[in-house]
């Protein structure tokens, strides 16, 4: 899979109904990934699939840091889905998203420690239904 670009990621797991599959491919490739990558700080979007497994799809968006995932640009995009997004997501059977921030640092860290891993980073993570 390769190294993570940036210090944060959005990870999405989902299945798609058979009747929504072709629309999912078109939407994901032509709209969703380009739309996310147009948000400042998003570095790469990748989709992985495994037929016969549930969830079948894993989408990984890599970002500069956690601030990108809480930025006004990203929140505004989440709160204003396109018509294609609304119709495509209606065909998702399972949808789970998670954002994470890396604990790796290459500069001198502040004195406070992260409660998750005890390193001195501003690490945060969260789950969304």
Question: Is pLDDT of 126 > 70?
Answer: no
- What is the number of other CB atoms lying within 10 angstroms of the CB of residue 67? 14
pTM score, whole prediction = 0.72
Cα–Cα distance measured from residue 29 to residue 103, given in angstroms and rounded to the nearest whole number: 30
- pLDDT tens for each residue of 43-54: 999 999 998 888
- pLDDT tens for each residue of 17-68: 999 999 999 999 999 999 999 999 999 999 999 988 889 999 999 999 999 9
Q: For domain 8-128, is the CATH number 3.40.50.300? A: no
- What is the number of other CB atoms lying within 10 angstroms of the CB of residue 27? 20
């Amino acid at each position: 899979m390769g190294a993570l670009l940036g210090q944060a990621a959005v990870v999405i797991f989902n299945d798609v109904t058979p009747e929504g599959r072709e629309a999912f491919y078109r939407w994901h490739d032509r709209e969703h990934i380009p739309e996310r990558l147009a948000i400042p700080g998003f570095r790469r979007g990748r989709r992985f699939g495994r037929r016969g497994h549930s969830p079948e799809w894993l989408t990984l968006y890599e970002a500069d840091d956690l601030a990108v995932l809480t930025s006004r640009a990203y929140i505004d995009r989440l709160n204003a889905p396109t018509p294609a997004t609304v119709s495509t997501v209606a065909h998702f059977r399972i949808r789970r998203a998670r954002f994470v921030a890396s604990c790796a640092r290459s500069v001198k860290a502040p004195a406070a420690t992260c409660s998750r891993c005890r390193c001195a980073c501003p690490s945060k993570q969260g789950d969304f239904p």
